[in-house]
Amino acid sequence: MKTVLITGCSSGYGLETARHFLAQGWNVVATMRTPREDILPRSERLRILPLDVTDPASITAALELAGPIDVLVNNAGIGAIGALEATPMRKTRELFETNTLAVIAMTQAVVPQMRARGSGVIVNVTSSATLAPMPLASVYTASKAAIEGFTGSLAHELGAFGVRAKLVEPGYGPSTRFSQNTDLRIEDVIPPAYAEFAGPILAAFGQPALVTVEADVADAVWRAANDTTGQLRFPAGPDAVALANTR
């Protein structure tokens, strides 16, 4: 029976992905900063562990408790929108610390065991913002685009050892983390000079024509984790699929 470790399982994509893998009969290690036992079905195949992906000591402790894993899903992330000139550098560093450096750190920590076994899959969850330019999301996009390049290179680097690297690219979902997990108010990051430009864009964010839901992402992660065709990118959600098809 295979084991998957998923980061960021307290809500959204990570929570739904953990439920999906459990339903498929896998052993699931669901990690989150503050463990909650009430959000996932009780199962002898489930372990819920504390993990702060930005803390090296926390990564080491979680992986020691998890034991051997077949699939790592780097899902934990934060979102932010706003004009670049109004985005504090502390927020930029926070985005890269969580969305970029933490993914690299988690991956680096599990590669030795996978390489030694000659098998394993690393699934990195990015964003459809990497598929087409999105205004008012430059820093967020940069943090995710870095992982796109990282994963593509890693797929070649680890393929020689039987380890696969995959990308899941979720579309926009108003209920997901893209506009959450931030301490910045919209009026802080949209200066008056940008009001006329930003108005229609923010309205479109609120009423998108196509919406990605958590189940779309969980399904894409499942397909990526089990893919043996060499496919690298797995767009998730109708808007992401549409963007990928026009890329």
CATH number at 191 reads: 3.40.50.720
DSSP H or E stretch at residue 200:
helix 195-206
CA distance 22 to 17: 9
Q: What is the pLDDT of residue 174?
A: 66
* Known catalytic residue at 140: yes
Given the residues 13, 140, 172, 194, select the one marked as catalytic: 140
The string of DSSP codes covering 42-98 is --TTEEEEE--TT-HHHHHHHHHHH-S-SEEEE-------S-GGGS-HHHHHHHHII
Q: What is the pLDDT of residue 77?
A: 95
pLDDT digits (tens, 9 = 90+) for 20-49: 999 999 999 999 999 998 999 999 999 999
| Number of separate domains in the chain | 1
Owning domain of residue 77: 3-246
Q: How far apart are CA 180 and CA 185, in angstroms?
A: 11
Nearest CA-CA partner of 234 in 160, 101, 133, 126: 126
The pTM assigned to this predicted structure is: 0.94
d(C-alpha 244, C-alpha 247), whole Å? 5
Cα separations in angstroms, 206 against 173, 209, 234: 10, 10, 25
Q: From first to last of the 247 residues of the chain, give the pLDDT tens digit.
A: 999 999 999 999 999 999 999 999 999 999 999 999 899 999 999 999 999 999 999 999 999 999 999 999 999 999 999 999 999 999 999 999 999 999 999 999 999 999 999 999 999 999 999 998 889 999 999 999 999 999 999 999 999 999 999 999 999 886 554 455 556 677 778 888 888 888 888 887 777 777 899 999 999 999 999 999 999 999 998 888 988 888 7
